[in-house]
Structure 1
Amino acid sequence: MNPFTFQAPSNILFEVGASKKIVDLAGDYGARRVLLVTDKGVRGAGLTRAVEAGLAAAGLALIVFEDVVADPPSHVIETAAALCRDEAVDLVVSIGGGSALDTAKLVAYLAKTPDRLDDIYGVGLAKGARLPLILVPTTAGTGSEVTPISIVTTPSTEKKGVVSPRLIPDWAILDPELTLGLPPHVTAATGIDAMVHAIEAYTSRVKKNPLSDQLARKALALLAANVRTVFRDGGNLEARAEMLLGSMLAGMAFANAPVAAVHALAYPIGAIFHVPHGLSNALVLPHVLAFNRPAAEPLYAELAELVRPGYRAASAADGAAAFIAEIVAICRDCEVPASLSAVGIREADLPKLAEDAMKQTRLLVNNPRDLSHDQVFAIYGDALAGRAVSA
Structure 2
Amino acid sequence: MQSFSFATAAQILCEAGAVQRLANLCRERGARRVLIVTDPGIARLGLLDDLLPGFSTAKVAVAIFSDVSADPHENCVLAAVERARHIGADLIVGFGGGSSMDVAKLVALLAHPDNAQTLNQLYGVDQAKGRRLSLIQVPTTAGTGSEVTPIAIVTTGETSKMGIVSSLLLPDLAILDAVCTLGLPPQVTAATGIDAMVHAIEAYTSKIKRNPLSSLLAREALRLLATNLDQAVHNGGHLAARQAMLLGACLAGQAFANAPVAAVHALAYPLGGHFHIPHGLSNALVLPHVLRFNLPMAQADYAELAAPLLGDRLQAGDRSSLAEQMITELEQLTQRCGLPARLRDINVPGNCLEQLASDAMLQQRLLVNNPREVSHDDALAIYRAAW
Give the shorter-chain TM-score range. over 0.9
d(CA) in 2 for partners of 1:102, 1:198: 19
TM-superposed deviation, 1:381 = 1.1
CA contact (8 A) 2:158 2:273 kept: no
Within 1, Cα distance between the matches of 2:185 and 2:204? Answer: 29
Contact 1:134/1:171 (8 A) holds in 2: yes
1:230 positional shift: 0.9
State yes or no: 1:108 paired with 2:108: yes
Q: How does 1:62-101 map to 2 (within 5 A)?
A: 62-101=62-101
Aligned-partner Cα distance in 2 for 1:144–1:121 = 17
Is 1:366 aligned to 2:369, yes or no?
Answer: yes
Report whether the alignment pairs 1:155 with 2:141. no
Counterparts of 1:316-335 in structure 2, within 5 Å, are 316-335=319-338
Q: Per-residue displacement from partner, 1:17-75 (whole Å, max 9, x unpaired)?
A: 11112211211222111101001101222221222221133232212100000011111
* Contact 2:128-2:166 at 8 Å conserved across structures: yes
| 2:24–2:55 CA contact under 8 A, matched in 1 | no
User: What SS does the aligned partner of 1:135 have?
Assistant: strand
> What does the per-residue CA deviation read over 1:190-249, in whole Å, with 9 as the maximum and x for residues that have no partner?
000000000000010011000000100000001011111111110011111110110000
In 2, the alpha carbon distance for the partners of 1:145 and 1:14 equals 12
Matching of residue 375 in structure 1 with residue 374 in structure 2: no
Contact 1:305–1:312 (Cα < 8 Å) also in 2: no
Instruction: Give a deviation string over 1:113-157, Cα, whole Å, max 9, x none.
Output: 121111111111112210000000000000000000011111242
RMSD: 1.0
Q: Measure the CA separation in 2 of the matches of 1:278 and 1:289.
A: 16
Deviations 1:63-102 (A, max 9, x none): 2100000011111011111111122111101210110000
1:254 aligns with 2:256: yes
Aligned counterparts of 2:49 and 2:211: Cα–Cα separation in 1: 40
Contact 1:36 1:63 in 2 (8 A): yes
Q: Secondary structure at the match of 1:380?
A: helix
In the alignment, what sits opposite 1:232? 234
Residues of 1 paired with 2:118 and 2:358: CA distance? 27
Identity %: 55
Distance in 2, Cα, partners of 1:128 & 1:69: 28
In 1, are the aligned partners of 2:106 and 2:152 still within 8 Å (CA)? yes
Structure 2 gap ranges (5+): none
Structure 1 spans left out of the alignment, 5+ residues: 385-391
Residue by residue over 1:317-356, the C-alpha shift from the partner in whole angstroms, topping out at 9 and shown as x without a partner, is 1111010011111111011202111222101211221111
Moved more, 26-35 or 306-315: 306-315
Greater displacement, 205-214 / 47-56: 47-56
TM, length-normalised to structure 2: 0.97
1:195 aligns with 2:168: no
Q: Give 1:172-191 correspondences, 5 Å limit.
A: 172-191=174-193
Structure 2: how far apart are the matches of 1:32 and 1:330?
A: 46
- Matching residue within 347, 356, 359 for 1:356: 359
Given the superposition, is the C-alpha separation of residues 240 and 206 from structure 1 closer, same or farther in structure 2, using an over 3 Å criterion? same
Task: Identify the range of structure 1 (31-40 vs 150-159) with the bigger mean alpha-carbon deviation.
Answer: 150-159
Q: How do residues 1-391 of structure 1 correspond to structure 2 at under 5 angstroms?
A: 1-112=1-112, 113-310=115-312, 311=314, 313-384=316-387
SS of match in other structure, 1:155: coil
Aligned equivalents of 2:94, 2:57: Cα separation in 1? 19
Q: Contact 1:218 / 1:249 at 8 angstroms: preserved in 2?
A: yes
Q: Secondary structure at the match of 2:51?
A: helix
Three-state SS of the structure 1 residue aligned to 2:137 is: strand
Larger mean CA deviation between 290-299 and 20-29 belongs to: 20-29
| Distance in structure 1 (CA, Å) of the matches to 2:27 and 2:366 | 39
* Cα distance in 2 for residues equivalent to 1:223 and 1:300: 16
Q: 1:373 and 1:143 mapped to 2: Cα distance? A: 29
Equivalents in 1 of 2:344, 2:73: separation in Å?
A: 25
The whole-number CA distance in structure 1 between the counterparts of 2:352 and 2:108 is 36
Partner of 1:389: none
Bigger Cα displacement from structure 2, 25-34 vs 163-172: 25-34
Secondary structure in 2 aligned to 1:49?
coil
CA contact (8 A) 1:301 1:313 kept: no
Q: CA deviation at 1:312?
A: 5.2
Residue deviations 1:149-206, cap 9 Å, x none?
0111112421111000000000000101111110000000000000000000001001
